[in-house]
Structure 1
């Protein structure tokens, strides 16, 4: 990516042992969050626990939910394709040389191949590789070293892993989007829950949660946007230190309103930014476990110290829409 103008990085300890230990907490049908009452400023800021600003409630109702009682490819909510233009899955994952990974040299340095049971790689028949496992209501996206016998057919990729998107089934403009998960660690480990515009463009991008595998408990929350007048891409976000994030489940969410984007950990607001002017289209959700990065600090390229197998454990993913009455209250 090009150099960004607005970049903010900071650290905030989050202490919520009750939420962390309540691993199978259900997602409510209705939810109320509390955010600062005043209008957001021009730059993104952290929201400290000592923030003196008055709060206002935001009432929400659930519009999407998966608690992974069945496999993600059985529910009809997800497709196992890398995010991109709406037509990209058919063209990029059709097999043959068109599927060859180019991330390491041309893009962000990822060293995994995203697979699913129907993926063929260079071959002509499905390889039957399944990176998704469901047990006791927990989805695991599993990244593992590519079997030597499949290296050639999988373009010599270092790892096989999985990605899920709601690109075909669900997108929404405004609202609250949340994942409850454990954040895996290790050299080259890069888990994420994020959102892209349904029109296939980039940016906008909302990174609800990204983990830095070599920094246990370090969670990154970032907004990316393009300035319409200049075309310049900018981003702004913060790092947060979440105690035992690799051992305990926590809620990571984002509230997208007309005038602001607010990030939450265990449903407590931790940062906010004025909604960029380019945030006009509905967005869909993406969850994935990448391996390797050349630009995202604290991840690094995979090496002999990287785990042979790593799991990104997810309890649930939900989305909510804003109750119109909350918007009326905010306008007063």
Structure 2
């Protein structure tokens, strides 16, 4: 993109006002961010550790917003499962044998199943399980231990939890994507806000924020891509420490530009990477609370120390497009 208001500035001055704390904060219709512009290679880098940087002001206008003043499934913006294609029609998510497909990621060793009020598990009768609670403008995705009477019908998963995806309703190429949330902690607790390509391929993947439940205050921001020549999947990202992440709301965002991807905490740039080859299609947003992981360090498997109920509290989720005017 064409640089606007390019300036060279010390790191501590290259920030916008933080929006942290317990207060709920509205998402403005227009937003400006300071993003890095100086050259970078394929490897990602921490901005704070790099000293002087070149920044530009990136003007943005809002294209998606949910501040959760109603149940998320009432708006039509979200569906409560991984989206499928023509070979897996919508009805198959409601219940019956094999309907746990797309309601967990078995490769990751997850121990929850994502439910919603009309989902029936092995049964074709809705179980009425609702992991989404809305109170005073805050959405809580709640994970809780599976009731013993439902263990078999829910494919023997240890927890029931929730996921929301916009694949069916919203995707966008380039722009800024942000969640304002508290990050829950505990053994086996794995909250995330992330993005996948709307065409269904993987990677690319942008993990805007993932929490390591066994490490309070530790969150991860990562880019995943595939090397076309070898087919090998590469990843690059960093852990960041936000000591009050589980008790106070913070903004976690990513600016996806044609030439770079920049990660933000409280709208301050914290890391960036050159946009890898393969980030060609619009991406959709996913927010979920997984329980248990074999491939993601700092989460672990659920055990007797895992809380019986875990809540991922979300104030809002918004997306912005780059204003080229």
- Contact 2:171/2:282 (<8 A) preserved: yes
Any stretches of 5+ residues in structure 2 without a counterpart? 1-15
Q: Does 1:249 align with 2:245?
A: no
Q: Does 1:95 align with 2:95?
A: yes
| Correspondences of 1:37-116 after superposition (within 5 Å) | 37-48=37-48, 51-83=51-83, 88=88, 90=90, 93-100=93-100, 107-116=107-116
The farther-off stretch of 202-211 and 33-42 is 33-42
Q: Distance in 2 between matches of 1:118 and 1:27?
A: 31
Structure 2 equivalent of residue 309 of structure 1: 309
**How far did residue 85 of structure 1 move?**
5.3
- SS of the residue aligned with 2:20? helix
Corresponding position of 1:181: 181
2:104–2:113: 8 Å Cα contact kept in structure 1? no
Secondary structure in structure 2 of the residue aligned to 1:303:
coil
Deviations 1:50-77 (A, max 9, x none): 6311211000000000000001000111
How far 1:228 sits from its partner (Å)?
1.7
Over 3 Å counting, the alpha-carbon distance change for 1:101 and 1:173 in structure 2 is: closer
Q: State the TM-score, normalizing by the size of structure 1.
A: 0.89
Contact 1:103–1:111 under 8 Å retained in 2: no
1:95-244 matches, cutoff 5 A: 95-100=95-100, 107-244=107-244
Deviation at 1:87, TM superposition (A): 5.7
Give, in whole Å, the separation in 2 of the partners of 1:145 and 1:164. 20
Q: 1:17 to 1:110 in 2, by over 3 A?
A: farther
Note closer, same or farther for the CA distance 1:78–1:106 as it changes in structure 2 (3 Å cut). Answer: closer
1:114/1:231 Cα in 2 relative to 1: closer, same or farther (>3 Å)?
A: same
| Separation in 2, partners of 1:86, 1:171 | 19
Q: CA deviation at 1:96?
A: 2.2
Aligned to 1:73, what secondary structure does the other structure show? helix
In structure 2, distance between residues paired with 1:19 and 1:101? 38
Which residue number corresponds to residue 3 of structure 1? none
Cα separation, 2, equivalents of 1:143 and 1:91:
24
For the structure 1 residues 35 and 70, does the alpha-carbon distance in structure 2 shift closer, same or farther, using more than 3 Å as the test? same
Moved more, 228-237 or 246-255: 228-237
Relative distance call for 1:212 and 1:17 in structure 2 (3 A) is: farther
Greater mean deviation of Cα atoms: 77-86 or 32-41: 77-86
Q: Is the 8 A contact 2:161 2:289 kept in 1?
A: yes
2:318 is aligned to 318
Residues 98-138 of structure 1, C-alpha deviations (whole Å, 9 max, x = no match): 12469999501100010000101011210000000000000
Count of residue correspondences: 311
- Structure 1 residue 231 displacement after superposition: 1.2
| 2-structure distance, mates of 1:18, 1:230 | 42
Aligned-residue CA RMSD (Å)? 2.2
Query: Which moved further from structure 2: 255-264 or 21-30?
Result: 21-30
Q: Report the counterpart of residue 264 of structure 1 in structure 2.
A: 264
User: Which TM-score applies when normalising by structure 2?
Assistant: 0.91
Partner Cα distance (1:256, 1:214) in 2: 29
User: SS of the residue aligned with 2:79?
Assistant: coil
- What do residues 224-254 of structure 1 show as CA deviations (whole Å, max 9, x unaligned)? 0011222111111000000210000000000
Distance apart, 1:20 and its partner CA: 2.1
Deviations 1:153-188 (A, max 9, x none): 111110000000001110000000000000000000
Runs of 4+ residues over 3 Å off in structure 1: 83-89, 100-106
